C-alpha cells in the first residue's frame, strides 16, 4: 500500500475531515455507557439525586453536619451556601420550591459549579452519612456500635433520651477533631462515588422534609439523561453516515485514479512490456486488484483510524470506572491477539496464491472465448471444460480454506466476549457487595470492555484485509513502476513540413528482451516515397519484426532507423505514429459501428473520405449490401464480420488517416486473388506519393512492387525488383516457384 500513497494526496483534506468526524463519533459512542451508568446509579438507585451536596438543607440539619467537619471544611461549605429566612428578599420564591421554609430557615446552595460540587461531595457526604447513622442510633440504640468510639465518646453509654447533638456540641474542640478523624478513617475504603451513592438516601430524606416532589425529581433526571442519550445516539448515527460517505468517496476516488493511471501506463507499454505482463494479468490488476485496494482504503479509513480512538478512549473510561477490573480487559486483549496471530499466520500465505489463481482463471476464460471456433472445430470442449474446472476448483478450494479459517474467528470472538462479560459480572458483583463499585459503573465497565475488544477485533480485520490489499497494491505498483523500454527523447525533434518520407535501415540489428541472440542481423535497405517496398521471406525470417521497428513498437538494438534523415528515436512516438497508417497482420475492430471504426483514424473525416477509403479497400460492396450501411453494428472484436471483411475495414481505416507512410503487415492474406488484385490497383492510385511497405507471403501480391526485400533467418539476402531477384536471389526464386509456375512468374 505504501507504493500507492501518492494517490491519497488529493484527498488529504477529506481524510482530515473524516478523522475529525470519526473522533466525534467515537466520543459519542464512549459517552453512552456513562449516561447509562448515570441512569442506573443516580436515576434509579439514588432517586435522581446526583450529588451528596443538597441544593437546599434545613438550618437545623446543617448545624448537625457542621459538628463532623474540620474548621477548614466548615469554611469551604458555608462559602457556597446562603441562609434563607422570612427576612430574605427572595423568601417567596424559595418558599414555593421548599415549603418547609415556612417553619424553619433553609440553607440554599449558591455555587453549583461542577468543580465546586466535586470538592464538596466527600465533605458533605461523610457528614451526611455520619448524621444519618446517629439518627438511626437515636431511633434504635442497638445500632450505637456502628459509630466510632474515639476520643472517649461512646454512644452506647449515653442515657436514653439524651440530646446527642447537644452533647456533641458541648465537647471540647480537640475531642470533636478526634471524632472527625475517626469518621474520615471509617470512610477511607469508600470511593467518592460510593460516598455520594450512600449519602443520596439522606439527601432525598432532606428533600422530602423540605417538601420537594421526589417522584418528579427522579423522573426529570431520567428523562433528561435519557434525552441526552438519544441526542448522543443520533449524533453517533449521523457521524457514522458522514464517515461512510466520506470514506466511500475517498476510496472510490483513489481507485478511479489508480485504475486510470494503470490504464494509461499500459497504453504506453511497448511489446516488450506486454511480454512481461500477460493480458489476463493486466486485466486482473486493473479490475480485481484495484477493487481490493478500494475496499481496503474504505476499511482503513473507517476502522484503522476509528479503532485506536475507540480503544484508547474505552480503556481510559474503563480505568476511571473501576481500576480494579482493568486486568480483565488486559486478559481479553492478550487472548484476542493470540487468536488473531494464529489466524493471520494460517491465512496470510493463501492471499497471494488467490490473486495468481484469479490471473489463471482469467487467462483460461479469455483463451476459451477468443478461441471458441478452434475449440469446436477440434471437438475439444470437454478438454477445455476440464481445464476451466481445474482453474476454477483451485481458486474455489483456496478461497474456501481462507474463509473457513476466517469463519472460526467469529464464534471464538463471541465466546471470548461472552466469557469476559461473565468474568466482569462475577468479579464486579463481589466488589459491589464490598461497596467498592456501583452497579451502574460495573455495567458501564462491561460496555467499555466490549468496546476495547471490538476495537481490537476491527484492527484484526484490518490485519487480515491489508495484507491481501497490499499484495494487490504491489501488483498494481509493479505495472505503474515498470520501466518503459521505449521512451520519448528529452528534447524531441519534429518532422519538417516538406519532409521527404524516405525510410532507411542502416546496419539495423535487433534482439528481443532477455533473448540470447539477435533475430535481425545488419539490415540495410531504403524505402522511397511514391514507391512500394515489399518484404518477403519464409516463416520466422523476421518480416514482422522489421515492420514493428518503424513505428517503434520495438527499438533497434543495433544500427539506426531513419525517416526523412532523422533517427526515429529522436522523434516523439505520437509524432512518429501520426505519420504512419498501420494495418496489422490480424485486423482488429472495436465494438460500435462501421463508421465509428473508420473514424478511429480521424474522427473529423468527412463522409466522402470514409466512402472513398471503403471503395479503395474494396469494402463498399459488402457495406452497401447491409441495410444500415456505415451505421451497421460491429460486435466486440469484429466477430460478426468475416476475416476478409475485417481486413478490408482495417485497410479502409488506415486509408482514412491519409498518412505519408503506409505499413501493410500481411494484410491481404484473407483476401481472394480477385479482391487482392483490385485492392492493390486502387491502392497504387490512392497512396500516390506515400511510402508504402508491404509484408506478404504471396508472390502475386508483391510481384509488381518497385522494390522487394528478401529476408532469411533475420538477414537481407536480396533487394531488387521481381525480375532481378528471380535471377539473383535463390531464396526468392524458391519461394516464387513454390507458389507459381515459371509462366506465371514471367
Domain of 537: which CATH number? Answer: 3.40.50.300
Q: What pLDDT digit, counting tens, does each position of 617-665 carry?
A: 888 888 888 878 888 888 877 778 888 888 888 889 999 999 999 999 8
Cα distance between residue 11 and residue 25, in whole Å: 21
54 lies in a domain?
Answer: yes
pTM of the model: 0.72
Cα distance between residue 364 and residue 396, in whole Å: 15
For residue 690, the SS3 value is: coil
Cell 449558591 -> residue: 110
What is the CB neighbour count within 10 angstroms for residue 504? 17
Q: How many domains does the chain have?
A: 4
Residues 411 and 460 in one domain: yes
491 lies in a domain?
Answer: no
Lowest mean pLDDT among 589-593, 619-623, 739-743: 739-743
Q: Who's near 106: CB < 8 A, 6+ residues apart?
A: 56, 57, 58, 59, 83, 84, 85, 94, 98, 100, 210
Residues 474 and 399 in one domain: yes
User: 566-567 and 558-563: which strand pairing?
Assistant: antiparallel
Residues 381 and 474 in one domain: yes
What pLDDT does 19 receive? 92
Residues 42 and 182 in one domain: yes
What is the end-to-end Cα distance of the chain in Å, rounded? 68
Closest residue by Cα to residue 19 from 313, 314, 302, 310:
302
Residues 629 and 715 in one domain: no
**179 vs 593 pLDDT, higher one:** 593
234 lies in a domain?
Answer: no
Q: What pLDDT digit, counting tens, does each position of 519-556 carry?
A: 999 999 999 999 999 999 888 888 989 999 999 988 99
Residues 545 and 618 in one domain: no
| Percentage of the chain modeled with pLDDT above 90 | 23
Residues 648 and 510 in one domain: no
Residues 363 and 381 in one domain: yes
Lowest mean pLDDT among 112-126, 137-151, 253-267: 137-151
Residues 567 and 598 in one domain: no
Cα distance between residue 466 and residue 398, in whole Å: 18
Distance of CA 260 to the CA centre of its chain: 17
Range of the domain at 59: 34-223
529 lies in a domain?
Answer: yes
Closest residue by Cα to residue 474 from 369, 352, 326:
352
Residues 319 and 413 in one domain: yes
Residues 285 and 160 in one domain: no
258 lies in a domain?
Answer: no
Residue 746: is its pLDDT beyond 80?
no
Last residue of a domain, one of 420, 449, 480: 480
Residue 740: is its pLDDT beyond 70?
yes
Residues 716 and 653 in one domain: no
Amino acid at each position: 500500500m505504501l507504493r500507492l500513497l501518492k494517490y491519497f494526496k488529493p484527498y488529504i483534506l477529506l481524510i482530515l475531515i473524516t478523522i475529525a468526524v470519526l473522533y466525534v463519533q467515537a466520543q459519542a459512542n464512549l459517552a453512552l455507557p456513562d449516561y447509562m451508568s448515570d441512569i442506573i446509579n443516580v436515576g434509579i438507585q439514588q432517586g435522581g439525586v446526583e450529588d451528596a451536596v443538597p441544593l437546599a438543607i434545613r438550618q437545623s440539619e446543617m448545624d448537625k453536619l457542621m459538628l463532623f467537619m474540620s474548621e477548614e471544611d466548615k469554611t469551604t461549605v458555608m462559602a457556597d451556601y446562603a441562609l434563607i429566612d422570612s427576612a430574605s428578599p427572595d423568601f417567596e420564591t424559595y418558599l414555593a420550591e421548599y415549603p418547609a421554609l415556612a417553619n424553619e430557615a433553609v440553607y440554599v446552595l449558591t455555587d453549583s459549579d461542577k468543580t465546586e460540587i466535586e470538592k464538596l461531595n466527600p465533605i458533605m457526604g461523610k457528614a451526611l452519612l455520619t448524621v444519618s447513622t446517629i439518627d438511626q442510633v437515636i431511633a434504635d440504640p442497638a445500632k450505637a456500635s456502628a459509630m466510632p468510639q474515639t476520643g472517649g465518646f461512646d454512644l452506647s453509654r449515653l442515657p436514653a433520651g439524651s440530646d446527642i447533638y447537644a452533647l456533641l456540641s458541648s465537647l471540647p474542640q480537640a475531642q470533636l477533631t478526634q471524632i472527625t478523624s475517626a469518621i474520615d478513617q471509617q470512610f477511607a475504603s469508600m470511593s467518592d462515588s460510593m460516598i455520594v451513592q450512600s449519602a443520596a438516601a439522606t439527601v432525598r430524606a432532606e428533600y422530602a422534609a423540605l417538601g420537594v416532589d421526589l417522584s418528579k425529581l427522579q423522573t426529570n433526571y431520567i428523562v433528561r439523561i435519557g434525552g441526552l442519550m438519544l441526542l448522543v445516539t443520533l449524533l453517533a448515527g449521523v457521524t457514522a453516515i458522514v464517515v461512510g460517505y466520506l470514506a466511500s468517496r475517498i476510496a472510490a476516488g483513489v481507485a478511479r485514479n489508480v485504475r486510470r493511471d494503470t490504464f494509461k501506463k499500459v497504453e504506453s507499454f511497448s511489446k516488450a512490456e506486454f511480454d512481461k505482463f500477460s493480458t489476463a494479468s493486466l486485466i486482473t490488476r486493473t479490475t480485481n486488484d484495484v477493487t481490493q485496494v478500494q475496499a481496503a482504503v474504505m476499511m482503513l479509513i473507517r476502522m484503522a483510524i476509528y479503532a485506536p480512538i475507540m480503544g484508547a478512549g474505552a480503556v481510559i473510561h474503563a480505568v476511571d470506572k473501576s481500576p480494579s477490573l482493568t486486568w480483565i480487559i488486559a486478559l481479553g486483549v492478550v487472548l484476542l491477539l493470540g487468536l488473531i496471530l494464529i489466524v493471520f499466520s494460517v491465512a496470510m500465505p493463501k492471499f497471494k496464491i488467490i490473486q495468481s489463481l484469479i490471473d489463471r482463471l482469467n487467462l483460461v476464460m479469455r483463451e476459451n472465448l477468443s478461441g471458441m471456433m478452434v475449440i469446436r472445430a477440434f471437438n475439444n470442449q470437454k478438454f477445455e471444460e476440464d481445464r476451466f474446472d481445474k482453474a476454477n476448483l483451485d481458486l474455489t478450494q483456496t478461497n474456501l480454506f481462507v474463509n473457513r479459517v476466517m469463519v472460526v474467528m467469529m464464534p471464538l470472538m463471541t465466546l471470548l466476549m461472552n466469557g469476559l462479560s461473565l468474568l466482569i459480572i462475577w468479579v464486579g458483583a463481589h466488589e459491589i457487595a464490598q461497596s467498592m463499585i456501583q452497579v451502574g459503573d460495573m455495567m458501564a465497565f462491561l460496555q467499555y470492555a466490549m468496546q476495547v475488544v471490538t476495537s481490537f477485533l476491527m484492527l484484526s480485520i484490518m490485519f487480515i484485509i491489508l495484507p491481501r490489499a497490499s499484495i494487490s497494491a504491489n501488483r498494481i505498483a509493479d505495472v505503474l513502476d515498470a520501466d518503459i523500454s521505449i521512451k520519448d527523447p528529452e528534447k524531441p525533434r519534429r518532422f519538417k513540413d516538406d519532409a521527404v518520407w524516405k525510410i532507411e535501415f542502416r546496419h539495423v540489428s535487433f534482439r528481443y528482451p532477455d533473448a540470447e541472440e539477435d533475430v535481425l542481423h545488419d539490415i540495410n535497405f531504403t524505402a522511397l516515397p511514391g514507391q512500394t517496398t515489399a518484404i518477403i521471406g519464409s516463416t520466422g525470417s523476421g518480416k514482422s519484426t522489421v515492420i514493428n521497428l518503424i513505428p517503434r513498437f520495438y527499438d533497434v538494438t543495433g544500427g539506426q532507423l531513419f525517416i526523412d534523415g532523422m533517427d526515429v528515436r529522436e522523434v516523439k512516438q505520437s509524432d512518429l505514429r501520426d505519420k504512419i497508417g498501420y494495418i496489422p497482420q490480424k485486423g482488429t475492430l472495436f465494438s460500435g459501428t462501421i463508421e465509428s471504426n473508420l473514424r478511429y483514424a480521424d474522427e473529423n473525416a468527412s463522409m466522402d473520405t470514409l466512402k472513398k477509403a471503403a471503395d479503395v479497400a474494396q469494402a463498399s460492396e459488402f457495406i452497401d449490401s447491409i441495410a444500415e450501411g456505415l451505421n451497421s453494428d460491429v460486435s466486440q472484436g469484429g466477430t460478426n464480420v468475416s476475416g476478409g471483411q475485417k481486413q478490408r475495414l482495417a485497410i479502409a481505416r488506415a486509408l482514412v488517416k491519409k498518412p505519408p507512410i503506409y505499413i501493410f503487415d500481411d494484410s491481404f492474406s484473407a483476401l481472394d486473388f480477385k479482391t487482392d488484385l483490385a485492392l492493390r490497383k486502387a491502392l497504387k492510385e490512392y497512396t500516390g506519393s506515400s511510402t508504402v511497405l508491404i509484408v506478404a507471403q504471396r508472390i502475386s501480391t508483391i510481384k509488381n512492387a518497385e522494390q522487394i526485400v528478401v529476408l532469411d533467418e533475420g538477414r537481407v539476402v536480396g533487394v531488387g525488383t521481381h525480375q532481378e531477384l528471380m535471377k539473383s536471389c535463390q531464396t526468392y526464386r524458391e519461394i516464387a516457384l513454390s507458389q507459381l509456375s515459371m509462366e506465371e512468374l514471367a
